[in-house]
Chain A
Amino acid sequence: EAGVTQFPSHSVIEKGQTVTLRCDPISGHDNLYWYRRVMGKEIKFLLHFVKESKQDESGMPNNRFLAERTGGTYSTLKVQPAELEDSGVYFCASSQKTGQQYFGPGTRLTVT
């Protein structure tokens, strides 16, 4: 069984540019989560999808971040325009209805 995958593994962009991160959950997992870890700080929850619906997006930092999960399969997280403080590692996780969360390898975003 394939695990959670994320693309790209690393992205370097300039301030003001746009970046889109992608997460492919484990097949059959309705729940999909996005987290972010800024250097030296905790991993912070960003939002949670149940299928294609946003269950909780209370962790999204601001309106420069847009997450989608069309069709309830893969998800994208777009940052537009990117700021320096957006640098960090973005993790995606998925789970079955009441199961543990399985994490992807993360996307390291560097904004210069």
Chain B
Amino acid sequence: AQTVTQSQPEMSVQEAETVTLSCTYDTSESDYYLFWYKQPPSRQMILVIRQEAYKQQNATENRFSVNFQKAAKSFSLKISDSQLGDAAMYFCAYTPMFMYSGGGADGLTFGKGTHLIIQP
């Protein structure tokens, strides 16, 4: 069974600084997707960034980037120039590619989440 582990229940960073959230996962699949979702307080969970396992290039979305180490099964999220609006729960998630792209993708496997605090 696939598992996703987020070892940092809470992280705190000063506004404008950089923070890295860690995520490791375990799977026997070779092709899969990894995601970081963000859930601000009392708001909906939204997708921050997505990484396809077959791509060696790390995904980037503006101030958000990932460090994907497939051999180590590590998928960390780096947030540069942290802003107050980045304060949220961040969830790492996984799904096998054959499920995601097959027109009937199964559910995501999530980590426990990391609570990110931004200090003004």
Interface residues of A (CB under 8 A from B): 3-4, 31, 33, 35, 40-48, 50, 55-56, 59, 91, 95, 97-98, 100-101, 103-106
Cα-based distance from A47 to B110 in the complex (angstroms): 14
The 3 closest A-B pairs by CB, nearest first: A45-B107, A43-B110, A103-B45
Could you tell me if B111 and A48 are in contact, using CB atoms closer than 8 angstroms?
no
Interface residues of B (CB under 8 A from A): 4, 35, 37, 42-47, 50, 91, 93, 100-113
Contacts A98-B100, A103-B44 given; does A43 touch B91 at CB 8 Å: yes
Could you tell me if B105 and A98 are in contact, using CB atoms closer than 8 angstroms?
yes
Contact of B106 among A3, A42, A45, A98 (CB under 8 A): A45
Q: Is the interface of B mostly helix, strand, loop or mixed?
A: loop
Could you tell me if B107 and A42 are in contact, using CB atoms closer than 8 angstroms?
no
Could you tell me if A101 and B44 are in contact, using CB atoms closer than 8 angstroms?
no
Q: In the complex, what's the smallest C-beta–C-beta distance from A49 to chain B, in angstroms?
A: 10
Could you tell me if A56 and B107 are in contact, using CB atoms closer than 8 angstroms?
yes
Could you tell me if B106 and A56 are in contact, using CB atoms closer than 8 angstroms?
yes
Could you tell me if A48 and B103 are in contact, using CB atoms closer than 8 angstroms?
no
Q: Please indicate the chain B residues that have their CB under 8 angstroms from the CB of A91 in the complex.
A: 45
Contact of B112 among A42, A97, A98 (CB under 8 A): A42
Contact of B111 among A31, A42, A100 (CB under 8 A): A42
Q: In the complex, what's the smallest C-beta–C-beta distance from B39 to chain A, in angstroms?
A: 8
- The residue in chain A whose Cβ has the minimal distance to the Cβ of B107 is A45
Q: In the complex, what's the smallest C-beta–C-beta distance from A103 to chain B, in angstroms?
A: 4
Contacts A45-B107, A45-B109 given; does A4 touch B44 at CB 8 Å: yes
Cα-based distance from A13 to B110 in the complex (angstroms): 27
